[in-house]
Amino acid sequence: MTELDLLKTEVHAKGFNVSMMINLFKKKQREMKAIHEVPDEVLCAVCRAYLTTTKQIDKSFPYFMTVLQRKSEEYCAANSQKYERFGRMPQSILEIMKGVK
């Protein structure tokens, strides 16, 4: 099992369906014909952020997208050489969130 799989299992145990969020995000990326995928390191950071939060999360997908964007920015800042290969986050989060409750 990879680190991401272990973290996803821990997050699921706390009652947050992070796998669904990741799959939904990747589906939206494919629909938008994104050139690059989010690295597993960023997804691991998102899972760790959820595991350390003490707040009750009411709107899961907006929370996921907010943390994903912040962790992606941190990743790109820390790995400036890889930024060009990683690409940018989608410009419109509203576009990604269409149809999500």
* Residue length of the chain: 101
CA distance 101 to 81: 37
Instruction: Locate the domains of the chain by residue range.
Output: 3-97
Local confidence pLDDT in tens for the 101 residues of the chain: 899 999 999 999 988 889 998 888 888 888 888 777 888 999 999 999 989 987 888 887 888 888 888 888 888 778 765 545 545 555 566 666 665 55
CA distance 65 to 22: 10
pLDDT of residue 10: 93
pLDDT of residue 58: 81
